[in-house]
Amino acid sequence: MKKLLVLVTALIISVGAYAQIESPVRWSYAAKKMNDKEAIVYLRATIQNGWHIYSQTVKDGGPIKTSFEFTTSKLYAPVGKTSEPTPVTKYEKSFSMNVSYFEKEVVFSQKISLKSPKATAVTGKLTFMTCNDMKCLPPEDVEFNIPLGK
C-alpha cells in the first residue's frame, strides 16, 4: 500500500510539473529550391497572443536575440545573413532600452548555396527568447532539419 501511495504521489507531481511547462512559440520549416545551385529555407515562429520573440538585431545588454546556426556541410552553405521582416521596436522597462521583437508570427529566411545534388536537407540550431508583459522564459535552443525537396 505504501508503494502505491508513493507511486500515485510521484505521478501527480510529475503531471503537475509537466502542466506548468510553457511553450508559447511553435516553429515550422519549409524550403524552396530555386534551381540546382540555390535554395531558400524558411523558419516560421507562431507565437501565442501576449508573447513575443526578439529580433536578430537586439543590442547587447538586452534580451537574448533570435539567432540561427547552420550546420557546416560539404553539400550546402548559407549565403549572407538570415533575413527577417521589419520588427516592432519599443522601449521595455525590464531591459531599460529599446528592443525589437515580433508578435503572433514571423518568418525568417536564409539563402542556401547548394554545392552538390546530394544535398537533401539543411540542418542547424536556432536560439530564441520569449517574453510577455509579466515574465520572460529562459532562452531555448531548437534543432532543425529542413528537407529541400526536389
Q: What is the pLDDT of residue 19?
A: 43
Q: What is the pLDDT of residue 18?
A: 43
Q: What is the pLDDT of residue 67?
A: 98
For cell 550546420, what's the residue? Answer: 71
Which residue stretches of the chain have pLDDT < 50? 3-19
Q: What is the pLDDT of residue 93?
A: 87
Cell of 97: 532600452
Which sequence spans correspond to the domains of the chain? Answer: 23-147
Q: What is the pLDDT of residue 150?
A: 66
Which residues, in sequence order, are CB contacts of 110 under 8 Å at separation 6+? 40, 41, 43, 68, 70, 78, 79, 82, 83, 122
pTM across the whole model = 0.84
Q: What is the CATH number of domain 23-147?
A: 2.60.40.1250
Grouping H, G, I as helix, E, B as strand and the rest as coil, residue 102 is strand
